[in-house]
Structures are given as structure tokens and as C-alpha cells.
């Protein structure tokens, strides 16, 4: 047996007392809206996520260009996120990975080619989809379902309502349009 690896045993240890020593993987969850303080207890809300491993947090965001939307940031530093309304909520342990920093960089490099900024889609290809995929590649785990439940539920809506969801949630940057009928 190779000694000193992340899952090694010290001399004299037996399997009953073996504790896996890997590199912890954390899912950092951020509230994207103030209303989450009321809706999260029912298992739904608008959340941003990033995956923390080896002291860096990796996430995915959208933009209108053909290069990657994957980025690294200081873990739990909501001020580094573009949307100033985003607030750190909690970290969830996703287990451990045996990948070194170099191994993680290789995984991230491959994902950068797949998660292009212009392909970001709030319902089908968002930061939570990225985080779930990244955790799966690091150690086979999946993020909790409640984190992306709003996007999942929204896929059941007729297309016309789905187009309205970003405005209703205040995620489009524009105020919802309302028309006033002067004869009403």
C-alpha cells in the first residue's frame, strides 16, 4: 500500500478505525433573493451555488460571449459575485475527493470547455447544474434537490410563463413591465 496518500492508513491502524483522509468538497449556497428567507423552509428558492475544494470555490455564470462561464473565487465571498443581492447562506459538506489540486484543475479545465457563458440557461444549464456535475466528477455525489428545485418546477410551466419568471424574480435587471389602461 502506498503511504501518505489521502486515504492511507498509518502503521498499526486497522479497518475498524480507518478514517478516510481526502480533500473535503463543500457546496456553498447563496440566496439570490430576500424572499428565500420565507420560501427555503418549504424547499424552494432562488439559489446560486459554487463548489469549494482545495481552498477555492468554482462556479458558473452566464454572459453573452463564446468563452467559458466557469470562474474561481474566494470561498463564501458573496461580494465577489456580480449580483449584489446575493448573500451567502450555508456550506454543505459533499464528502471528500482523492483528487489533488492538479487533478481538480484538470477537471475544471475540461468543464470550462463545456460550460460556455452564452449557453447559460436559468432552467436547464445554470450554476446549480454545474455544481452538481462538478461534485459528481469529484466524488460521485449530487447536490441536494432543494437547491435547484425552483428551476425544476419552472420547467413544468408553459413557455410563456417561463419567459416571465426572470422578471417576477427580479433576476433580469429590468422592472416588470406593466401597462396602465387610462380608461379602467
Of the candidates 17, 48, 63, 135, the residue annotated as catalytic is: 48
Q: Which helix (H) or strand (E) holds 157?
A: none
In Å, how far are 45, 64, 71, 100, 108 from 68, measured between CA atoms?
26, 10, 8, 23, 11
Of the candidates 63, 127, 129, 135, the residue annotated as catalytic is: 127
- Phi then psi dihedrals of residue 157, to 5 deg: -75, 155
Nearest to 69 by CA among 125, 18, 30, 24: 125
Buried b (16+ CB within 10 A) or exposed e, 129-141: bbbbbbbebbbeb
Nearest to 94 by CA among 60, 49, 38: 49
Tell me whether residue 48 is one of the annotated catalytic residues.
yes
Tell me whether residue 127 is one of the annotated catalytic residues.
yes
Residue 61 to residue 89: CA distance in whole angstroms: 18
List active site positions: 48, 127
Amino acid at each position: 500500500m502506498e503511504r501518505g496518500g489521502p486515504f492511507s492508513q498509518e502503521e498499526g491502524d486497522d479497518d475498524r478505525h480507518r478514517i478516510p483522509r481526502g480533500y473535503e468538497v463543500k457546496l456553498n449556497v447563496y440566496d439570490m433573493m430576500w424572499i428565500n428567507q420565507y420560501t427555503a423552509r418549504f424547499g424552494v428558492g432562488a439559489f446560486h451555488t459554487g463548489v469549494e475544494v482545495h481552498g477555492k470555490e468554482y462556479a458558473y455564470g452566464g454572459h453573452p460571449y463564446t468563452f467559458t462561464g466557469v470562474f474561481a473565487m474566494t470561498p463564501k465571498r458573496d461580494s465577489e459575485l456580480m449580483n449584489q443581492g446575493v448573500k451567502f447562506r450555508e456550506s454543505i459538506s459533499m464528502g471528500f475527493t482523492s483528487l489533488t489540486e492538479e487533478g481538480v484543475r484538470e477537471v475544471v479545465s475540461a468543464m470550462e470547455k463545456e460550460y460556455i457563458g452564452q449557453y447559460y440557461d436559468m432552467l436547464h444549464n445554470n450554476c446549480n447544474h454545474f455544481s452538481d456535475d462538478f461534485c459528481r466528477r469529484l466524488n460521485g455525489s449530487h447536490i441536494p434537490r432543494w437547491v435547484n428545485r425552483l428551476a425544476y418546477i419552472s420547467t413544468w410551466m408553459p413557455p410563456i410563463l417561463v419567459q416571465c419568471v426572470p422578471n417576477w424574480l427580479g433576476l433580469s435587471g429590468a422592472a416588470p413591465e406593466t401597462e396602465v389602461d387610462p380608461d379602467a
